[in-house]
Amino acid sequence: MNALNITRVDRVLVVEGNDPPINRMSLAYIDEWEVLLDRIETDSEIRAVVVTAAGDTNFSVGMDLKELTSQAASRGGFEAVLDQRRRVLHRIETLSKPVIATLFGYCLGGGLELPLACHFRLAAAEGARIGLPELDLGTVPAWGGTVRLTRTIGQSAALDMILRARKIDGPEAYRLGLVNEVVPLADLKPRAMELAAEMARQPATAVAGVLRAVEAAMTQSLDEALDCEREAVRACSNSPDQREGMRAFIEKRRPNFA
């Protein structure tokens, strides 16, 4: 059985964890993600990605700790396993196509750290339990959670969640700026697909440029980030999508990008 279910709906790729009801992020889960990322980046027909999980009970309880204990040595040790996760999440974060995560039920440890690497996060209005409870295990979030959570919600709120091993619900996640929207559970996956379809209709070169520029704003100096934005502008200059956008504006209609 594959760790991921992969489906395409028009230009939206749906990536679904396949270990219900708890949807652990096994070694195979990350292996399959690493292979899939090459396809996402190079396939021009994929314009947006939805990250979700099988069923409607839990997005993910995070890493499969029993499997990690028994099999890490065969993967080059614990550090090698963490290196792979760091590499995969960085690639998700720097994709040239928007990635939308759905948070429902337990979203713990890696089950929050992977969504933190996505560009959009939607949470269920009811039943979500979102957190980084690693301190309860005597350890520290290991997939970039301390860094990405702090950059997303700020130092004070991140410390409050991590040091107290707090699990928050969807409405609080929205209040903190951790998620973009809160949606009734029954509507969560359809809403993610709706948002992805909207993103997929946008001009691909411009979308890629915006994603690079915003990432640069978070990780590089001001001048470097401004240079990245300028490169994105140059990439769009006199492109078919830009010409179509200008024509649509003059003709007072919606643009139809390639």
Give me the phi and psi of 6, to 5 degrees please: -120, 125
Res 165: pLDDT: 97
Is 113 an active-site residue? yes
Whole-angstrom CA distances from 64 to 1, 31, 61, 82 are 16, 14, 8, 13
pLDDT tens for the chain, residues 1 to 258: 799 999 999 999 999 999 999 999 999 999 999 999 999 999 999 999 999 999 999 999 999 888 888 988 988 998 999 999 999 999 999 999 999 999 999 999 999 999 999 999 999 999 999 999 999 999 999 999 999 999 999 999 999 999 999 999 999 999 999 999 999 999 999 999 999 999 999 999 999 999 999 999 999 999 999 999 999 999 999 999 999 999 999 999 999 998
Give me the phi and psi of 60, to 5 degrees please: -175, 140
Query: For residues 38 and 238, what is the distance between their CA atoms, to the nearest angstrom?
Result: 29
| Other Cβ atoms closer than 10 A to 166 | 15
Are 148 and 183 in a shared domain? yes
Look at residue 256 and tell me if it is in a domain: no
Nearest to 169 by CA among 126, 132, 136, 135: 126
Tokens standing for residue 201: 């209709």
Look at residue 257 and tell me if it is in a domain: no
Tokens standing for residue 191: 């809403």
Give me the phi and psi of 177, to 5 degrees please: 85, 15
Look at residue 211 and tell me if it is in a domain: yes
Are 144 and 246 in a shared domain? no
Are 115 and 171 in a shared domain? yes
Are 213 and 196 in a shared domain? no
Look at residue 124 and tell me if it is in a domain: yes
User: How many independent structural domains does the chain possess?
Assistant: 2
CATH number where 158 lies: 3.90.226.10
Residue 166's contacts (CB-CB under 8 Å, 6 or more residues apart) are 131, 160
Contact 258, 240 (CB under 8 A): yes
Are 230 and 163 in a shared domain? no
Tell me which of 16, 134, 215, 231 is the catalytic residue.
134
Look at residue 14 and tell me if it is in a domain: yes
Contact 209, 233 (CB under 8 A): yes
For tokens 């992020």, name the residue.
25
For tokens 């915006």, name the residue.
210
Look at residue 222 and tell me if it is in a domain: yes
Tokens standing for residue 11: 């230009």
Domain that holds residue 217: 204-250
Is 134 an active-site residue? yes
Are 161 and 227 in a shared domain? no
Contact 126, 150 (CB under 8 A): no
Contact 137, 109 (CB under 8 A): no
Tell me which of 32, 93, 113, 172 is the catalytic residue.
113
Query: For residues 179 and 254, what is the distance between their CA atoms, to the nearest angstrom?
Result: 28
Which H or E element spans position 123? strand 120-124
Query: For residues 154 and 80, what is the distance between their CA atoms, to the nearest angstrom?
Result: 29
Amino acid identity, residue 225?
A
Nearest to 51 by CA among 1, 128, 107: 107
Are 211 and 130 in a shared domain? no
